[in-house]
Amino acid sequence: MSSLRIKRCCRSLHLTIGENDRVYAPRDTRKRSIAAERLLRCRPTFSKSLLVSVAVSKLGCSPLFFVELGVKVDGRYYRDVLLKQQMLPVMCRIAGDTYVFQQDSAPAHCARDTVRLLQQETPELISPHLWPPNSPDLNPVDYRV
């Protein structure tokens, strides 16, 4: 068989399904029509991530707050779980009412309801719009974990 014919055959049979699944089948084949044992499971490109939050002040640090695997940290989760239940009560115990709350400009931090909550519940707030979005050199949390 000529190499050109082999290349043409391979092109017509390769099918990528999703980011990590591959199978060799005719191009017009649907994933649901392929038996699961025929799918070639490839190693994921990225490792699983772990989300951690911590409150830091010159008076002390909070414990690390771990976000459960699979939870999407949107504005509501950030406000209701991380801020109200975890970070703000700890910061009040550590610093009382003498701290400035600062965070980066992640979407959950910039949500209107989140900013409104922080304006009401913290002694002083540096707006997320004034802080660079990716600033590891300015972020003490990157050196805590």
What's the pLDDT score for residue 126?
Answer: 86
Domain ranges of the chain: 3-41, 52-143
What's the pLDDT score for residue 62?
Answer: 86
Which tokens go with 100? 């400035």
Residue 14 pLDDT > 80? no
Distance between CA atoms of residues 51 and 68, nearest Å:
8
What's the pLDDT score for residue 40?
Answer: 62
pLDDT, one tens digit per residue, over 110-125 is 899 999 999 999 999 9
Are 118 and 101 within 8 A, CB to CB?
yes
Give the residue-averaged pLDDT of 79-91. 93
DSSP track, 44-113: PSSPPP--EE--EETTEEPPPEEPPTT----HHHIIIIIIIIIIHHHHHHHHTT--EE-----HHHH-HH
**Which amino acid is present at 117?**
L
The residue with tokens 């002390």 is 60
What's the pLDDT score for residue 103?
Answer: 83
The CATH code of domain 52-143 reads 3.30.420.10
Give the residue-averaged pLDDT of 76-95. 93
pLDDT, one tens digit per residue, over 35-73 is 777 666 655 555 567 788 888 777 888 888 899 888 889
More confident residue, 20 or 98: 98
What's the pLDDT score for residue 97?
Answer: 87
Name the least confident of 9-18, 73-82, 89-98. Answer: 9-18
